[in-house]
Amino acid sequence: MTTTKGITRRHYLAATGAGVLAAGLGMRPGFAADTVLRQGYQTNMWGMPTYYLMRSGLLQKYGIKAEEFAVPSGNLTMQQMVARQVDMGTYAGPSFIIGHSKGDLVAIAKIEYVGKTARVMARKELGLTKVEQLKGLKVANQTGSSTGNIFVDQIATKAGLNKGDYQEIRMNVNDMVAAMAAKTVDAMVCVEPYNAIAEDEGLANSISDFYDFDKLPVFMAATPEFVEKNPDAIVGYLKAWMEVDNDFKKNPDKVADVIYSFYTSKGYKMSKKTFSKALANVEVGPGWPDDLDGYMKHHAQVLLDAKKIKSMPDFSKAFRKDFFKKASA
């Protein structure tokens, strides 16, 4: 067993016994008998719809076996996928663009919008109200993540802050609240539920909301080899996601109970009310909105200008829209 910042990588087959997957439900398995989907997800709120998918029983319904790989943020899942250690995972646009550039990763759907879950928070006692007030201060940032890139390349620069104007402290998002409490950083670029925890404990206040800059669509990405080997299973997988979407909309209490248990099992002290408030900021809705191509070209240009990628991606190849079309037919 390996751990990443206190998060145990647990091997989870999406059935109590692999033999019940298809036989018990009378369905044909989506994968070959020896194939297991290696599903990556981040343990912040962005990854919790995927966590719920794996606990919902819906993968079993579509004959899919899965093994989970939990990490603190999506850019780490992306790196695992580039190294072909993981088959699928969720992360926002900038991380996907980098993953496509480095490893030819493809997206099979936009899964959710998470712009309301990401904020720039400052220690409450400092009395800060604007991003420009971070000049000269220590800012915790998950360097290389989508939120990290958007903060550095867009939010900070719009506030007149360039690299060097503030001290960037590289840190995983799940370590930031403790750093704020210890006063080793002055601010953090963080996501839910950690923002809600910091606010609830009186440690921090919000000075910028990402939603004002970016709705932050999160994509389900896959390695091209896995997609080409398992096209029918990808369709079934997306059908499962459509049912997850239905649960988020029609059974929010059921969803909240499953996900809340994840954080309490990890020792996070958080009231159900605080958690529900944080979870409500995740807007699940798999599909392919019409404005995504332009949105992604904008982010690709930002990354190109910052020399984080070498060329503009061809999104007609990076976006595999055909699978969701089949799943929703």
Q: Is the pTM of this model over 0.85?
A: no
Tokens for 293, please give them.
């191509």
Same domain for 47 and 183, yes or no, is no
CA angle 132, 114, 39 (to 5 degrees): 125
Q: What gap in Å lies between CA 222 and CA 280, rounded to an integer?
A: 27
Tokens for 57, please give them.
């029983």
Same domain for 189 and 243, yes or no, is no
**Model confidence over 89-116: pLDDT tens digits?**
999 999 999 999 999 999 999 999 999 9
**Model confidence over 48-88: pLDDT tens digits?**
999 999 999 999 999 999 999 999 888 899 999 999 999 99
Q: Any idea what the CATH number is for the domain that residue 240 is in?
A: 3.40.190.10
The pLDDT of residue 145: 84
Same domain for 185 and 252, yes or no, is no
Beta carbons of 189 and 139 less than 8 angstroms apart: yes
Which range, of 4-13, 185-194, 255-264, 300-309, averages the lowest pLDDT?
4-13
Same domain for 225 and 109, yes or no, is yes
The yes-or-no verdict on residue 16 having pLDDT over 50 is: no
Domain range for 287: 3-114+216-327
Domain end marker among 176, 194, 212: 212
Same domain for 223 and 88, yes or no, is yes
Tokens for 285, please give them.
């809705």
Total of domains in the chain: 2
Same domain for 81 and 147, yes or no, is no
